[in-house]
Chain A
């Protein structure tokens, strides 16, 4: 060893510890860690397991250039209030803005048949997003609607990794305006909530269904999967339908016919 160990070690060491503690203190204040207290949530009040809400989508009726459901959803849930950050390119904006519903156009490899359909959260009975969420911010109500509690979501995005349908959106930017119906926060994740605010207020349709009906397509039908007398259940009995990625056995609440 070289001679530098001859210094009075104890003093040096104390001084060193002191300086380190100071530095560590300064470093931990720097990132500005604020602790916000999570508010109590009014989650799942009154949701009943007697019902299971779902959608039936008839892709035959879904029109190719129509975007009515997407626009209606954006209006209903204040997604259209989000401003595109300055200087952001088109592709990145599409990749980063929330898309609760998206239109997809498909062509069958064998027959060449073209189908159009809206994709949204499929409100799985066994939702992977809920399974993986560390804080239980992702949850499924008794009536089958899958939601994110914006007060406990820490923005880890694990649910987005787990969702097989790419149904979830992370809020990448500051939120200046929002609606009371669908609260939104930078750094939290959200997805289609089956217009839960409307349903809880007694409505029988979602905004997307209304818009689709209004345009005369009637490709979206909202209803109770548990009630054999609901229009949804009847339609399901009449036509064969399928779940997207049925192989995953998630028992989705959104079903598709003519796919």
Chain B
């Protein structure tokens, strides 16, 4: 096997700056959208006192969950020691940091009072899982940062194993923490399930790896570097396993809910008659995000087709996004049952009826800006740091 040589991502200027300019443009649009929403107040969004977390939260949670999963490749390399994965570890760390940052910016800019960030940092309610998450996120940046440094700098190599393990456990905690945000909402049927936290972990594996595959392929295409088929195939197979696992967990989640009589309402809503949420569940989450990519990843017809791998990864991301949408928005739209045994005849605040939510353009633009921020950080980071091997040719047979 050739000795690995890492170098900064260096591709022809127009290609690089053009891409970066496009990303910056999206980010600026997102900032303008955030300013507009904050300046006028949230009434210009689709959010209300009924559906209090809207599209920005879907983007933010999606990115945060994916961030922890993106670190998977590095973890496999250092914790479990896989020679095929190890060279990809640095990039995996960088991507994880980028995705988390993008998600957090969206989360912050959707607050009612984003300028009170300082309050959020100085006032802690330690009973709040949200407050814990702030600590988990900050810690993630620090630990993955050191981990990245340990991977890149020879002098810091002694920290490599330790930080590798720390990062591995920290990110599991982070996803559990994110999933637990919903676990604490006792009154909302959709979230009242113990399986929520492990489901978030497996979702993070899947989305994170899909992001990883796409960014890795783009980076190597951008810089015209070599990316071996064997390595890509490994990643692809792993993605297939994760996608299957997400499907399996979704199945268990809905089956357990069907077993619990009080939860039949929400199950009916998501699976049968929830209108847009039912469509999103079956078409978006299950078909686009699960069945089709599984087929593309495993079918021999596409076995050596890079394009198919890229498309499948994008579909996994779309399906994942829809899945978070159904969880976050669908879970709020479904009415809480305040008066069992009674029917609500009238209420000035929509008791007993499905809440309406139509996302506004500004919310979507802010969310997209979060993705653009993540990609920009990755592009800039890959250009400034030695995170990508100059060549990812397949190792010779037998060494892998």
Neighbour of A186 across the interface among B41, B356, B380, CB < 8 A: B41
How many angstroms from the CA of A198 to the CA of B181 in the assembled complex? 36
Q: Are B41 and A27 in contact, with the CB atoms below 8 A?
A: no
Q: Are A103 and B348 in contact, with the CB atoms below 8 A?
A: yes
Distance in Å from the Cβ of B326 to the closest Cβ of chain A?
16
From 293 to 352 in chain B, residues with beta carbon under 8 angstroms from any chain A beta carbon are 332, 336, 338-339, 341-351
B11: chain A residues within 8 A (beta carbon) = 4
Q: Are B130 and A156 in contact, with the CB atoms below 8 A?
A: yes
Would you give the 0/1 interface string for B31-43, flagging 1 where the beta carbon is closer than 8 Å to chain A? 1001100101111
Number of A-B residue pairs with CB-CB distance less than 8 Å in the complex they form = 234
* Chain B residue nearest to A108 in the complex (CB): B342
Q: Are B116 and A134 in contact, with the CB atoms below 8 A?
A: no
Q: Are B12 and A4 in contact, with the CB atoms below 8 A?
A: yes
A169: chain B residues within 8 A (beta carbon) = 49
Distance in Å from the Cβ of A43 to the closest Cβ of chain B?
13
Would you give the 0/1 interface string for B106-142, flagging 1 where the beta carbon is closer than 8 Å to chain A? 0001011111111110011101111100100000000
Given contacts A33-B115, A245-B338, contact A99 B49 (CB under 8 A): yes
Distance in Å from the Cβ of A72 to the closest Cβ of chain B?
15
Is A47 an interface position by the 8 A CB rule? no
Q: Are A154 and B28 in contact, with the CB atoms below 8 A?
A: no
A98: chain B residues within 8 A (beta carbon) = 49
Is A78 an interface position by the 8 A CB rule? no
- Chain-A contact segment, one of B182-190, B195-203, B264-272, B282-290: B182-190
Neighbour of A99 across the interface among B118, B127, B349, CB < 8 A: B349
Q: Are A107 and B350 in contact, with the CB atoms below 8 A?
A: no
Q: How many residues of B contact A (CB 8 A)?
A: 73
Distance in Å from the Cβ of B214 to the closest Cβ of chain A?
22
Q: Are B113 and A135 in contact, with the CB atoms below 8 A?
A: no
Would you give the 0/1 interface string for A82-120, flagging 1 where the beta carbon is closer than 8 Å to chain B? 000100100110111011001111111110001100010
Is B390 an interface position by the 8 A CB rule? yes
B27: chain A residues within 8 A (beta carbon) = 27
Would you give the 0/1 interface string for A183-206, flagging 1 where the beta carbon is closer than 8 Å to chain B? 001111100000000000000000
Would you give the 0/1 interface string for B147-188, flagging 1 where the beta carbon is closer than 8 Å to chain A? 000000000000000000000000000000000010011111
Given contacts A134-B120, A187-B38, A248-B187, contact A36 B343 (CB under 8 A): no
Q: Are A132 and B128 in contact, with the CB atoms below 8 A?
A: yes
Q: Are A128 and B187 in contact, with the CB atoms below 8 A?
A: yes
Neighbour of B345 across the interface among A32, A105, A133, A164, CB < 8 A: A105
B109: chain A residues within 8 A (beta carbon) = 31
A-B contact pairs, 28 of them (CB 8 A): A1-B224, A16-B383, A20-B384, A27-B27, A31-B31, A33-B117, A88-B43, A95-B356, A99-B49, A102-B351, A103-B348, A105-B347, A106-B342, A106-B344, A154-B120, A155-B112, A155-B113, A156-B111, A158-B128, A162-B185, A165-B187, A166-B50, A166-B336, A168-B49, A169-B49, A173-B41, A186-B41, A187-B111
Instruction: Known pairs A31-B114, A108-B342, A156-B112; list 7 more (Cβ under 8 Å).
Output: A30-B28, A31-B31, A109-B341, A119-B351, A128-B187, A155-B113, A189-B112
State the 3 A-B residue pairs at the shortest beta-carbon distance, nearest first.
A155-B112, A187-B112, A164-B187
List chain B positions with a Cβ less than 8 A from chain A: 7-8, 10-13, 24, 27-28, 31, 34-35, 38, 40-43, 47-50, 52-53, 109, 111-120, 123-125, 127-131, 134, 181, 184-188, 223-225, 332, 336, 338-339, 341-351, 355-356, 380, 383-384, 390
